[in-house]
Structure 1
């Protein structure tokens, strides 16, 4: 009987601090606590960045009144976005369209003299599809006047031109309402479009769902 009691006492003996199983258990608990603390700390690493209060068109100058300050988690890509800490350099313009509430990528900003696309107003009488909005792409076709008081066969002048803005124009009495489409024109194509407008060519704008072009 005494032998059995001694055996049970040996089994119920409190573990020693030198017991490797106890040390491993303590290390596992500590590692778990450290992991949770690190995870919570990483989840709370937010930074301030700028977002567009309203859509910003290509060529539009950036000022702080057009921007909101927002808290975001950008991680390793933080340096690619404009933020209040780095400040807003004087004279910056958008070189790519920035949508409402979007963050401002640094690659979308530049100087006006470096902008190789300029907005040009094209007035059309035909209706545009609902998909032809700022930021979408259109093909611009031009038909020059011919010698018979008509127009020559249309040619594609600007494939996949980006729309900067669409404005519905006023209608004269008895005439259809016109639409003014601001399209972004590369510098090398500018003389052709302006020449077509000066020669009273018929200019048509066709929505390009594929977005091909520049």
Structure 2
């Protein structure tokens, strides 16, 4: 069979636009390009939001100096966070603790009169475990002063109170180390704790790993 035979000519002829194989190949190319474009577009759908530059305590005034700007992809949960586009309202305080590098939730901001918990300082000489850090929960026990130098049996006064801050120091003469724990107390709980402190009761703070408040 020579090179000019009809069969050889059919093998080397150019494919027609109506050739199904050619149409399928073109379709696959278009789908591949569209997939890459969609992937790149999806990866770029990020939003600029605020994050805490350092720990922000309850009641602390929140300003741009407290915050950094990060680009993240939030999708359906974007409405729950403070975005750069939406802006940061002036005069807002933290209603809940925001840890360092945590995104700033909208619900964490409010006015000072919306605070339902306030920090109260409790001084103690006992060491707390390392897990009892700001944001952790502790139980506050109170032993009222009895007759002479004795104290009554301790009673659980504040179960599951949140730690706002911890400061370490020493007594006036430097003879012993002290720890000051700021715990968040509601207005309803405030009179009992302040009354115990005013009557020189022995107040102890115990780490509550369960976090239960009742």
Give the shorter-chain TM-score range: over 0.9
Q: Give 1:5 deviation, angstroms.
A: 2.6
Structure-to-structure mapping, 1:93-112, within 5 angstroms: 93-112=93-112
Task: Tell me, in whole angstroms, the C-alpha distance in 2 between the residues paired with 1:201 and 1:17.
Answer: 94
- Cα–Cα, structure 1 residues 142 and 63, in superposed 2: closer, same or farther, change >3 Å? same
Structure-to-structure mapping, 1:1-214, within 5 angstroms: 1=1, 5-173=5-173, 175-213=175-213
Task: Tell me, in whole angstroms, the C-alpha distance in 2 between the residues paired with 1:45 and 1:146.
Answer: 66
**Deviation by residue 1:117-165 (Cα, 9 ceiling, x = unmatched):** 1111111111111221111111100011113431111011111111000
Question: Normalized against structure 2, the TM-score is what?
Answer: 0.93
Cα RMSD for the two superposed structures: 1.8
**Deviation by residue 1:94-135 (Cα, 9 ceiling, x = unmatched):** 111111111101122222211111111111111111221111
SS at match of 1:160: strand
Q: Which runs of 5+ in 2 are unaligned?
A: none
Q: How many residues align?
A: 214
Q: Which runs of 5+ in 1 are unaligned?
A: none
The farther-off stretch of 69-78 and 198-207 is 69-78
Task: Tell me, in whole angstroms, the C-alpha distance in 1 between the residues paired with 2:21 and 2:154.
Answer: 85
Task: Tell me, in whole angstroms, the C-alpha distance in 2 between the residues paired with 1:146 and 1:106.
Answer: 48
Question: Normalized against structure 1, the TM-score is what?
Answer: 0.93
**Runs of at least 4 residues of structure 1 off by over 4 A?**
none
